Structure 1
Amino acid sequence: MSSLKRPLAVLAALASVALLAGCGDDDSSAGTGTDPGSSTSSSSSAPAGEGTGVSCDYPTDPQGAAKEVEPPPADATVSGQVAVTFATSLGDLKATLDADAAPCTVGSIVSLAEQGYFDDTTCHRVTTSPGFGVLQCGDPTGTGTGGPGYTIPDELEQTKDYPAGTLAMANTGAPNSGGSQFFICYTDTQLPPSYTVFGTIDEASNQLVADAAAAGTADGGPDGAPKTPIDISSVTLD
């Protein structure tokens, strides 16, 4: 896996911009279809360990794991709206994960969070072009090449657009190729509906990300490592 080696099929207006990277590679985008700040904080409605009846397939990724973890249960155990806190160097980012819209994706994010996969990781990419403002995280290597050792099925039925505050999965450009990398749209972002939207961050959290992104990239370009480092210390269920 190499950094930014998963270019997405983007809109013509963004054709010159290298796209986000997902599970093990670097292609991602975000869209939630919900207004930032509109998330509600209620815990998952299925008790831990109890199946929801949704079957998920998590095939092994031949590129291996950036950090060893167990895959999520094949029978999804998370449902409903799941309140999560990303503890970061910017402050706490409050998120609501939509397990009804994306049960397999949210099941994976919850499983990885519970195993400490995201602990002490850095968000390796920010984009600053008009109509394409995302922060990409979820790779323990901090390079845009790492994944959890398995892939996640696409869940695109409710993915339509990517307003500010959206949480979505990065992918390689191929179907069902997401892993652990995800992105936050800190502005309304123009992308095709090819990236699973799995939740939102609230308005105050989105402002923290937008303020950090306003500093630009480390090299001054429109796409690269954030000039203001953005690190995740932990991800916890509220």
Structure 2
Amino acid sequence: MQRLLYVNIAEDIKKKIKDGYLNPGDKLPSEIELAKEHRVSRSTLREAIKMLQREGILISKNGIGTYVSENASLIMENFLNNLISIGDLIKSFGFEDTQSHMRVYKAFPQIEWREKLNLREKERVDIVERLREANGLGISYSYHIFPESIAQGYFDENFKGSLIKYLKEVMNIEIGYSLTEICAVEEAENEKVAHYIGKKILLFKQLHFDKKDTPIFYSLDYMNNNVLKFFIRRENAFSS
């Protein structure tokens, strides 16, 4: 019951931020006031505050109080069972989708890429590298890796927008699904990425397949976990 109470309080605070009753930089009322408003104990309220701090929505300043994070209004939540492009996710929350640091180049594949993409001997890859932003804030930094035999010169540094849509509408390739490994990343592992999207990073290693189960491209998608929150619904395997 205690857990349900603090989760409900956290959701209520999120809603106030979303609806504009609380704005980035605003100071929250005192613990006593909030506990009284929600008719809970201060210990239950603190659990809700801690939950929102872990999610990067609230920040506490010692001896001063608790404040709404400057990035709180940009928090985006997505269920992992939905295959949606970062651009479409950004737009679905009403934010402006932009990209920068765009590069398209050829490279010799790493062993992992060769195995994932079933590359021919000596086949190189085309890499589409770019930063995606929501309202100017770095959301993801991605390396999309294509076999040369599939890329066929379709990509250049003027490319923008959804890869999945581009593949379908321009290259006549429809992505059916992806297999995704989620990895924790230390800042030191990729200082370049951390510079653009912050230090709290999740790495999605995603292998995308077409409707015939052919691997089409492999992505290394570094996600700003201060802003992007991912969820998955888990079923009870032993329920009747």
Give the TM-score normalised by structure 2.
0.26
Higher Cα radius of gyration? 2
Higher-RCO chain (CA-CA 8 Å, sequence separation at least 6): 1
Structure (1 or 2) with the greater helix fraction: 2
Could you say which structure has the higher strand fraction? 2
Q: TM-score, normalised by structure 1?
A: 0.26
